[in-house]
Structure 1
């Protein structure tokens, strides 16, 4: 049975008797329902100011969808929300659905409380913070050393506390559940952040609703299926019963999970290994791990293998890299042969990883892989702490990180579905862990969460900040809707507009489903002949922009909203008029 095959729009499955924390239902959480009603009271007041009498419970749902795209998406998201406020349109927005880089923006805003009230001031503070270059490896290491003690440590921890922390110039220790305080007042639109289940994506595709896992202030879970209260995220459950309460992951960790896809596995491996070398070989942090061949007086055996032989092979590999010639993969094969008696060791597994990725790695990437191998071998050889100059929990961090790199393990968390019966498949309920990653691997604009029947909006503003495929969002959303029998307007995009949009806003409207207004970040309307230059300048792998670059980027995103504000307003008014009092 495919992942969450029971997604039929019914809630016939019931949870086992006992602790009711695991909820098997298609409905949204009570806290979300309360928050939305309070938010619609704000919209009803706005409608009244325009001469439209409407009861809060009759206010139509209007959603803003903010795409992924790294730091570019963070800034683009901030700009669109600020421009909607300047155009006196933000009060009508019920939901903000986010994924990947745009979750970084909403995490900064929601941690600030009533951010709508202070959006202009917050924008200045955020830009100043992101322009700051003070975040360093020392701060990352402290967080990483703590994280390595967790049972569910994965590459997501490394990513969150290095790459994303570097982009956001800090780490938030708050919790997503704490956002409920401001959401339940209705002062801000309700935030939904999205991830996907990595194994499910690999055996399915973006049209399967069962791959999508969402986070709100009140609940976390698979859309239209299984959820738990957000404060219990990463706790252990069995048969729907709470077995062990674990601390809710921090927002700092979650932004790493939500924003963990920046390109191909090759690119990520290069970045991850570079991060490891810069952090774990850091003399300032007093946790430096040397290469095996730099440890003085080391003799004996490494997990049954001759250390002098391994030391010699590492030197051969380094010399070959320095000289740009030699049978480097042959040397790796000799290492594997030398350690053939301990194939379960971290060192052996890392050599296999090196061999698999050697041909596609850059010279620097290869050097980093060798550095990491030497460090792992030094730790596994039980060299003296005097020689290693490393504290035990730093060694733990090194070995855990390499093990996760070898297994390519991201987003490890306890499985909320463990032990559930009913119509769920065994592969989904027998596993003790879930592996959650960036929803950009599914759909980079969070349509699936917005299109839940309980949330179905009448108007969607779709803001796309991934300029390499600016029309992917509505195109994939239409395919998703067809596959799942969800009303949706026709999405007809001229072929010459697919990769080179001429307009800042594309409208998709039909007899059924929501009206979609789609805003590609860069287009000929807002950037003219600079369009292709901007694609290169604002690539998603960058973790720092100058203040000038940030302000310029935000202006492009703002222009899309500003230039089409009358069109947006007309759509909002039209929707309100359908539900006004007679």
Structure 2
């Protein structure tokens, strides 16, 4: 997010921002885009907009109460709830320091002087299926599959369709949810321990007390079981999942859960647990055991009148099933031979961070209707700074999309420079600029990478300023080279 902001500021100073037709992003870059497009004609007043964004990012966060109120809004406001809703309300707000309830379609008529925004995610089921179309783009006008060319009006993305007809309108997603959808890098299963830990903090923070709304709602119900016991079961269930993820024996927690459930049921617990025994030596089997165990406990608790605790049970079920970005499929039961059959069959689709597949939005901008001449690839990836452009070239070869050949000098793999140009016959020119390189970081490329890891807390004001300066240097140092390449494609 910060890297893109710093780069755009320098592009503006170089007089190059107003010749950019599209601004497309994946993952954290979309967070920058969402902040920019809050302001109509942001590209004409970027210094002011930049200062406003940095002030917000360095300022106070969203309160727990407001974040939880937003989460409840998501939970009660639509048919499908997933970890993306949790990620949006409880986590993205801690980085973005705001709850942005604007929608993309609000911005349709404010795009006159700014590059056209394209947000990119991937279809999780298509990603796992050969011959699918995983690339899904969302703009102020349309949302859909970049390669297939199947789109729906953005205001209707997430609504229920059957054979091309809308059956049930769902609320249009807001910008907070869109940022969570695009920036859900934690949707990879290796993040489960981190997410469980955050949910544990979340439950402890919102555990009933006389001061909480949740407690007031529950104590009015004379038939409500012991709220304290329910919360203890959930906390034990979190700990049990964490134990299994870390190969530790969870038998004491298992016993505590059984005891509390039995007491909740007045000594008549009929909970049926997984029939197989937990085998920590077999990681896959242990994972399946905990999935079933978590579901069983949640299903059992759901029979009680638990008020707002139902929300927690839904979060736990989403954790067990690892559901991210679930929405109705607008292609459900359509018949169209040009659309991969897998996209037509299911009533729902799951969407996640495109960076988990390719950490750059090449496929969306390379739609043939866009007729792109020049791509400026600002690469903010961790690790190999050439992976995105190389993988894009390989994907395009497979998909018969024109793309230049990518050859990186061997000596640059460890010590990347700040400016690369790839050209090909009847293909767009690709300028590739790694964020950290030997020009702007000298011999400290690795130190800069370590300082700005993806999975860490929000950056301080000083870190934001330093990173913007480093990202800006890549543009500043290469202004004339950029102009030269733009002149070449115009010519």
TM-score relative to the length of structure 1: 0.71
Q: Which residue of 2 is the match for residue 86 of structure 1?
A: 13
RMSD, matched Cα: 3.8
Q: Deviations over 1:189-212 (max 9, x none)?
A: 0010001001111224xxx67111
1:449 is aligned to 2:364: yes
Q: Given the alignment of the two structures, is residue 213 of structure 1 paired with residue 136 of structure 2, yes or no?
A: yes
Residues 469 and 163 of structure 1, relative CA distance in 2, 3 Å threshold: farther
Paired residue for 1:484? 399
Aligned to 1:112: 39
Report 1:38-437 matches (<5 A).
74-149=1-76, 150-183=78-111, 185=112, 187-204=113-130, 210-223=133-146, 224-262=148-186, 264-266=188-190, 268-283=191-206, 285-287=212-214, 327-328=249-250, 332=254, 342-343=271-272, 379-380=301-302, 382=304, 392=307, 394-423=308-337, 424-437=339-352
The alignment covers a number of residue pairs equal to: 457
| Structure 2 residue aligned with 1:65 | none
Distance between the aligned counterparts of 1:401 and 1:261, measured in 2? Answer: 18
Q: Secondary structure at the match of 2:133?
A: helix
SS of residue matched to 2:440: helix
Counterpart-to-counterpart distance in 2, 1:265 and 1:491:
31
Query: Is the contact between residue 412 and residue 434 of structure 1 (CA under 8 Å) also seen in structure 2?
Result: yes
Q: What is the CA–CA distance in structure 1 between the aligned matches of 2:349 and 2:281, rounded to whole Å? A: 28
Conserved? CA contact 1:332–1:355, under 8 Å: no
Out of 471, 478, 484, the position equivalent to 1:557 is: 471
Shift of 1:382: 3.5
In structure 1, what is the Cα distance between the partners aligned to 2:247 and 2:101? 48
Q: CA deviation at 1:330?
A: 8.3
Alignment match, 1:67: none
C-alpha distance in 2 between matches for 1:222 and 1:333: 48
Rounded to whole Å, the distance in 2 between the matches of 1:134 and 1:327 is: 37
Per the TM alignment, residue 262 of structure 1 is displaced from its structure 2 partner at its CA by 4.0
Structure 1 residues 201 and 314: CA distance shift in structure 2, 3 A: closer
C-alpha contact 1:379 1:395 (8 A) present in aligned 2: no
Q: State the shift of 1:341 in Å.
A: 6.1
For 1:334-375, what per-residue CA distance to the aligned partner results, in whole angstroms no more than 9, with x for missing partners? 9799999645x9xx79x98999879999xxxx9xx9xx9999
Q: Which piece of structure 1 moves more, 156-165 or 426-435?
A: 426-435
Tell me how far apart the structure 2 counterparts of residues 180 and 536 of structure 1 sit (CA, whole Å). Answer: 39
Report the CA distance between 1:510 and its aligned residue.
2.2
| 8 Å Cα contact 2:325-2:352 kept in structure 1 | yes
Per the TM alignment, residue 494 of structure 1 is displaced from its structure 2 partner at its CA by 2.4
CA distance, structure 2, for counterparts of residue 519 and residue 287 of structure 1: 50
- Give, in whole Å, the separation in 1 of the partners of 2:27 and 2:46: 21
Contact map agreement 1:411 1:436 (CA 8 A) in 2: yes
Name which of 550, 572, 580 aligns with 2:486: 572
CA distance in 2, matches of 1:173, 1:240: 28
Higher relative contact order (CA 8 A, sep 6+): 1
Q: Does the 8 Å CA contact 2:332/2:343 hold for their aligned counterparts? A: yes
| Map of 2:457 onto structure 1 | 543
Asked if 1:522 is matched to 2:445, the reply is no
1:495 aligned partner: 410
Q: CA deviation at 1:278?
A: 2.5
- In 1, the alpha carbon distance for the partners of 2:247 and 2:354 equals 41
Change (3 A) 1:89 1:425: closer
| Deviation for aligned residue 1:456 | 2.8
CA distance, structure 2, for counterparts of residue 89 and residue 192 of structure 1: 19
* Structure-2 separation of matches of 1:513 and 1:236: 39
Q: CA deviation at 1:444?
A: 0.7
Structure 2 distance, partners of 1:247, 1:352, is 42
Aligned partners of 2:80 and 2:56: how far apart in 1?
30
How many Å separate the matches in 2 of 1:352 and 1:118?
A: 60
CA displacement 1:453-488 (0-9 Å, x = unmatched): 111311110001113121112101100111011221
Contact kept, 8 Å, 2:187 with 2:353, in 1: the verdict is: no
Secondary structure of the residue that 1:524 maps to in structure 2? coil
> Would you say 1:532 and 2:455 are equivalent positions?
no
Q: Is the contact between residue 467 and residue 535 of structure 1 (CA under 8 Å) also seen in structure 2?
A: yes
